[in-house]
């Protein structure tokens, strides 16, 4: 759950109720006698913002301040003192703060840490949000400046810079699949950093880390991502290999993975520990002796070559209807005039880019925001230096939900993107002129991109390639409570159509109207694990759902209804929204309603998807087991349990997120058959679009 800013202000003791992050023992000793340096430190995403942030330091700390940025890694973090008087961590947006985590991991501790959101063009509406408690925090103060907002964090002694930055991420970010999926990684160089965006465990390594890579990574290392342009690349790779870690060699110009050395000891484990073996390897290099043999590199499938997209930036949050009939190009090269193919396209009546947003590095929040009002992006090979750069840009755009057209993909780019995503971006640009078709295109593209290029998927595949044991996948437990035997067959059909790979179903037969044949229907119709419970009619709906939760084994709980319609990707989309939003409760609004009495499908509430708001349908909710418990569980109510859950999540400090409404259609057969007694007229007044029959294509149910 998020920690309201007011709960920190004026606190004089640590948050003993939920000490999510603890200072390492060595740091705690330091805080007992607050010996701190007098110099300041600035960590920033760009040099220009770093220079602006330096002015935020007190005069004494500013004089000898060091500025370290993502674009200029000339300063080795290993040469910095472990303690500072004041550290400023500056980025354009809260989302971009996560990209500075690898730098923050080497910044040590400070008496004051300031999180600065500095974007003069578009000042953020609020300061960074603390989503987890910080140890020994006694004051958090917001401040407005001309270019943005600041959040000053003070501690009783010294505050770890890494902890301060990580506190802006969801408290369960690693469980949601952010970062390297729980692996301990170290990265070198600018090309290695994108592999660690949003990873609270990742650390940076450099030439000064030689001989101490084991200690730098917290006495354990799973993966080293090494920039081949780094002068110490070979030495660091050898040390990591001696530690039994996998080594990923990335290309400095594109950040794409070139080769992989699997994990495992170089030779049968000697009596000495692996850290000792690493020190012996380094000493051998210094004596110019023959180093220990490295494991042979293995070929890297093109599907794994790109760094994962940054979920904090490249996500669909904020998607909206196009406000301008314009298309953009987002080249990775410097601005170029439109190629001849643009004239050919114009003469044929096809749209061409009219807005150009050159961006050589990863997409930023401002880039995504600038694209939101446009119909989409038309991407062409002439805007990129090669397949890797182009594929990476398309993956970022589509993950962000920006409708993207790329019709001239070569085989290398298709292999990097993956066949599904490559096919989905090969779309007629005129399709984006219609609002429904544009949104459906965006949904299909973002789903394919996030499931292929999101950090969880990328690192899961890399685990296999690197010889690291895989993590157990998350399971979604569907909770289905019904008191209508005649609806069981329909519910079974909707459940059987779900294409989520890891699902179980817990059905609750509510009342005495169910015979043995009805009880056997769900297990017989579904090829996923099914548990069937019985509850008497006197039990409330909330009690039925609580019993289903108790019987479920999944980490995520999805509530579905027995008479509604669901598209095959419904559960996948809810889980993706739970991952990228960081919200405790996610769901879909009942945008599409089938009025059975009239046999009409309507659409309502077309605006407001992909935002944090409470308008969710009770049959399309998803929450983690832990967050449900933190909210107090299901209320023992006979109706409106969904509204009560939303209120309880809010009261517990959680967030509620509404994803797109496609793949879910509410069914109304008359007010007397539902726990919600709204009549047909109520829905007709809200409709912005009406179609005869159950329009599966409109609601994306096919």
**Same-domain check for residues 163 and 217:** no
Per-residue b or e along 619-635, where b marks 16 or more CB atoms closer than 10 Å to that residue's CB: bbbbbbeebbebbeebb
- What is the CATH number for 533? 3.90.550.10
Tell me the pLDDT tens digit for each residue of 451-477. 999 999 999 999 999 999 999 999 999
Which DSSP string do the residues of 47-85 spell out, in sequence order?
HHHHHHHHTTS-HHHHHT-EEEESS---S-GGGS-SEEE
My answer on whether 289 and 370 are in the same domain is no
Name the range with the highest mean pLDDT among 68-72, 130-134, 298-302: 298-302
173: helix, coil or strand?
Answer: coil
Q: How many domains does the chain have?
A: 4
Shared domain for 135 and 238, answered yes or no, is no
What pLDDT score does 347 carry? 36
Residue 297 has what pLDDT?
83
pLDDT at 134: 76
Q: Are 549 and 636 in contact (CB under 8 A)?
A: no
Looking at the structure, tell me whether residues 507 and 615 fall in a common domain.
Answer: yes
Per-residue pLDDT at 302: 85
Higher pLDDT, 689 or 489: 489
Would you say residue 184 has pLDDT above 80? yes
Beta strand spans in 490-642 (E) = 503-510, 530-535, 556-559, 565-566, 585-588, 592-595, 600-603, 621-624
Judge whether 312 lies within some domain.
no
Query: Quick one: which of 537, 533, 487 has its CA closest to 511?
Result: 537
Residue 21 pLDDT greater than 90, yes or no: no
Region 394-415: what's the mean pLDDT? 96
CA angle at 538 for the pair 537 and 539, rounded to the nearest 5°: 90
Closest CA to 57 of 110, 126, 6: 110
Contact 522, 505 (CB under 8 A): yes
41-52: pLDDT as tens digits: 999 988 889 988
Contact criterion met (CB below 8 Å) for 193 and 102:
yes
Point out which residues pair with 111 in neighbouring strands. none
Pair 599, 642 in one domain: yes
More confident residue, 1 or 660: 660
Please tell me which residue, 426 or 46, carries the higher pLDDT value: 426
Between 65 and 532, where is the model more confident?
532
Share of the chain above pLDDT 70, in %: 83
Q: What is the pLDDT of residue 626?
A: 96
Residues 17, 122 within the same domain: yes
Q: Within this chain, do residues 593 and 685 fall inside the same structural domain, yes or no?
A: yes
Q: What is the mean pLDDT of residues 525-553?
A: 97
C-alpha torsion 597→600→606→611, nearest 10:
50
Measured CA to CA, the distance from residue 702 to residue 699 in angstroms comes to 8
Let me know if residue 182 belongs to a domain.
Answer: no
* Per-residue model confidence (pLDDT) at position 125: 42
609-639, pLDDT tens digit by residue? Answer: 999 999 999 999 999 999 999 999 999 999 8
519 has a pLDDT exceeding 90: yes
Q: What is the pLDDT of residue 22?
A: 33
Q: What is the pLDDT of residues 308-339, one digit of tens each?
A: 999 999 999 999 999 999 999 998 876 554 44
Query: Is residue 530 domain-shared with residue 674, that is, in the same domain?
Result: yes
Cα–Cα distance between 181 and 199 in angstroms, integer? 9
Asked if residue 458 belongs to a domain, the reply is no
Reduced to 3 states (helix: H, G, I; strand: E, B; else coil), residue 168 is: coil
CATH number for the domain spanning 361: value is: 3.40.50
* Residue 26 shares a structural domain with residue 164: yes
The pLDDT of 500-518, averaged and rounded, is 96
**Last residue within a domain, chosen from 304, 338, 373:** 304
pLDDT at 161: 92
Q: Are residues 394 and 248 in the same domain?
A: no
What pLDDT does 208 receive? 62
pLDDT at 453: 97
Calculate the average pLDDT of the chain: 84
Summarised one tens digit per residue, pLDDT across range 110-128 is: 989 999 998 745 434 445 6
Query: Rounded mean pLDDT of 227-249?
Result: 86
pLDDT digits 0-9 by tens, 54-113: 999 988 888 888 898 886 654 566 677 888 989 999 998 888 898 999 888 888 899 899
578 and 645, same domain (yes or no): yes
Q: Which of 275, 304, 333 is the last residue of a domain?
A: 304
Q: Supply the range of the domain harboring residue 497.
A: 476-699
Q: Of the given ranges (211-215, 358-362, 535-539), which has the lowest mean pLDDT?
A: 211-215
As a whole number of angstroms, the distance between CA 257 and CA 530 comes to 42
* Contact between residue 166 and residue 100 where contact means Cβ atoms under 8 Å apart: no
Kindly state whether residue 500 falls inside one of the protein's structural domains.
yes
Task: Tell me the average pLDDT across 191-211.
Answer: 82
Same domain, 688 and 650: yes
C-alpha span between 476 and 472 (Å, rounded): 13
- Whether 551 is in a domain gets the answer yes
pLDDT at 413: 95
Q: Return the pLDDT at 438.
A: 97
Which residues have a Cβ under 8 Å from the Cβ of 644 and sit 6 or more positions away? 542, 635, 637
Per-residue pLDDT at 612: 96
What is the mean predicted confidence (pLDDT) over 549-554?
98
Least confident range from 122-131, 274-283, 345-354, 608-617: namely: 274-283
**Is 687 among the domain residues?**
yes
What is the per-residue pLDDT for 300? 85
> Phi and psi for 232 in degrees, rounded to 5?
-95, 15
Q: How many residues does the chain have?
A: 702
Mean predicted confidence (pLDDT) in 172-187: 90
Q: How far apart are CA 88 and CA 74, in angstroms?
A: 18
| 315 belongs to a structural domain | no
pLDDT at 107: 86
State which of 295-299, 625-629, 690-694 shows the largest mean pLDDT: 625-629
591 lies in a domain? yes
Q: Between the ranges 75-89, 500-514, 683-697, where is the mean pLDDT highest? A: 500-514
């Amino acid at each position: 759950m998020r920690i309201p800013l007011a709960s920190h202000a004026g606190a004089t003791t640590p948050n003993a109720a939920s000490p999510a992050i603890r200072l390492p023992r060595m740091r705690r000793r330091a805080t007992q006698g607050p010996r701190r340096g007098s110099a300041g430190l600035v960590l920033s995403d760009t040099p220009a913002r770093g220079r602006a942030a330096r002015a935020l330091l007190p005069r004494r700390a500013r004089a000898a301040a060091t500025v370290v940025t993502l674009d200029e890694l000339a300063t080795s973090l290993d040469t910095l003192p472990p303690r500072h008087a004041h550290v400023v961590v500056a980025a354009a947006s809260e989302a971009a703060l996560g990209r500075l985590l690898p730098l923050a991991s080497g910044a040590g501790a400070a008496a004051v840490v300031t999180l600065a959101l500095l974007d003069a063009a578009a000042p953020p509406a609020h300061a960074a949000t603390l989503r987890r408690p910080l140890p020994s925090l006694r004051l958090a103060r917001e401040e407005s400046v001309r270019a943005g907002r600041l959040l000053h964090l003070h501690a009783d002694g010294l505050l770890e810079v890494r902890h301060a930055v990580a506190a802006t991420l969801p408290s369960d970010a690693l469980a949601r699949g952010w970062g390297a999926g729980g692996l301990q990684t170290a990265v070198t160089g600018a090309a290695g950093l994108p592999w660690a965006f949003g990873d609270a465990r990742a650390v940076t390594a450099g030439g000064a880390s030689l001989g101490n890579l084991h200690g730098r990574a917290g006495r354990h290392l799973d993966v080293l991502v090494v920039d081949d342009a780094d002068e110490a690349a070979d030495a660091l790779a050898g040390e990591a290999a001696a530690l039994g870690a996998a080594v990923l060699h990335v290309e400095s110009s594109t950040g794409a993975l070139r080769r992989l050395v699997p994990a495992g000891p170089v030779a049968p484990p000697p009596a000495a520990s692996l850290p000792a073996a690493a020190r012996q390897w380094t000493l051998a290099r210094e004596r110019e002796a023959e180093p220990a043999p490295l494991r042979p590199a293995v070929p890297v499938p093109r599907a794994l070559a790109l760094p994962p997209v940054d979920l904090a930036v490249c996500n669909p949050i904020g998607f909206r209807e196009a406000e301008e009939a314009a298309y953009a190009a987002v080249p990775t090269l410097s601005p170029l005039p439109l190629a001849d193919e643009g004239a050919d396209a114009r003469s044929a009546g096809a749209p061409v880019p009219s807005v150009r947003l050159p961006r050589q590095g990863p997409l930023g929040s401002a880039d995504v925001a600038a694209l939101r009002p446009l119909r989409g992006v038309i991407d062409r090979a002439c805007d990129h230096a090669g397949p890797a750069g182009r594929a990476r840009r398309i993956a970022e755009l589509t993950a962000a939900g920006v409708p993207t057209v790329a019709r001239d993909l070569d085989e290398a780019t298709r292999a990097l993107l993956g066949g599904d995503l490559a096919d989905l971006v090969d779309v007629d640009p005129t399709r984006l002129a219609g609002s429904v078709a544009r949104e459906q295109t965006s949904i299909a593209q973002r789903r394919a991109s996030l499931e292929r290029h999101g950090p969880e998927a990328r690192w899961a595949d890399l685990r296999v390639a690197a010889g690291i044991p895989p993590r157990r996948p998350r399971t979604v437990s569907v909770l289905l409570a019904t008191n209508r035997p005649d609806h069981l067959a329909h519910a079974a059909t909707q459940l059987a159509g779900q294409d989520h790979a890891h699902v179980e179903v817990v059905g609750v037969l509510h009342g005495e109207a169910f015979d043995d044949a009805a009880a056997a229907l769900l297990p017989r119709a579904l090829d996923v694990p099914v548990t069937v419970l019985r509850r008497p009619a006197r039990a409330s709906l909330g009690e039925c759902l609580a019993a289903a939760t108790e019987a479920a084994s999944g980490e995520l709980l999805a509530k579905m209804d027995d008479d509604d319609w669901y598209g095959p990707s419904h559960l996948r989309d809810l889980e993706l929204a739970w991952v990228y939003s960081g919200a405790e409760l996610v769901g879909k609004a009942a945008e599409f309603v089938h009025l059975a009495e009239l046999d009409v499908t309507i659409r309502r509430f077309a605006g407001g998807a992909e935002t944090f708001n409470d308008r969710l349908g009770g049959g399309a909710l998803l929450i983690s087991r832990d967050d449900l418990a933190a909210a107090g569980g299901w209320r023992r109510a006979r109706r409106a349990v969904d509204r009560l859950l939303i209120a309880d999540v809010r009261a517990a400090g959680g967030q509620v997120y509404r994803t797109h409404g496609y793949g879910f259609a509410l069914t109304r057969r008359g007010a007397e058959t539902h726990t919600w007694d709204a009549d047909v007229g109520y829905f007709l007044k809200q409709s912005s679009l009406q179609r005869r029959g159950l329009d599966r294509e409109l609601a994306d149910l096919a």
